[in-house]
Amino acid sequence: MDGSDPTDRPLFREDYRPGIPHYPVRIPEIRSGSEYYFDTGSGLRYQVMFAVKKTNSLEHIVNFGVLNEEYEDEYSLTNRGEIYRVIATVVEIIRLYHVHHACAVSYEFSGEFKDDRDNRETSIRTLLYFRKAKEIIHPSWEAELKGNRVLVRRIKNQG
């Protein structure tokens, strides 16, 4: 790295404002915990989990999805007009998590395909996540699209 304290470089731009309110978030009892929950206005319960990569404990995988068992197709559920508020909530959860893991060097996530027969390399949802990530991350971070994954990582050398 460049010798500066990595916690001096925020994950999101200073001027980032979600533009839409996020849902109330249930944070882990242990503040540095890895499981967060929220309920949407239509009653869907989401879980957002963070896992560290085996190769580097400062690299994180973000996994989120609907927990309600009675629904098989999460994709159609989030298209109830709640998708942007869901994204705003997941962004808020990543912000909360990063407060307690400020030395993190990367976050990785991917979106489900709308249709099992979809033969694209990158899902429409992943493209939406990628576009959002590029819009909100601080210049000391970069977003990269790798197949059906979005990788947001801290830039190692800031000149």
Question: What 3-state DSSP class applies to 46?
Answer: strand
Cα–Cα distance between 111 and 86 in angstroms, integer?
13
Q: Could you read off the pLDDT of 42-65 as tens digits, one per residue?
A: 888 999 999 999 999 999 999 988
State percent of the chain over pLDDT 70: 82
More confident residue, 69 or 147: 147
Query: In this prediction, what percent of the chain has a pLDDT beyond 90?
Result: 60
Q: Do the Cβ atoms of 117 and 134 come closer than 8 Å? A: no
Report which of 33, 32, 109, 113 is spatially closest to residue 76, judged by C-alpha positions. 113
Strands 106-110, 56-66: pairing kind: parallel
132-152 residue pLDDT tens:
999 999 999 999 999 999 999
- Per-residue pLDDT for 93 more than 70? yes
pTM for the model: 0.85
- Which class would CATH give 6-154? alpha beta
Query: Residues 118, 122, 126, CA angle at the centre, nearest 5°?
Result: 110
Sign of the alpha-carbon dihedral angle for 40, 41, 44, 45: positive
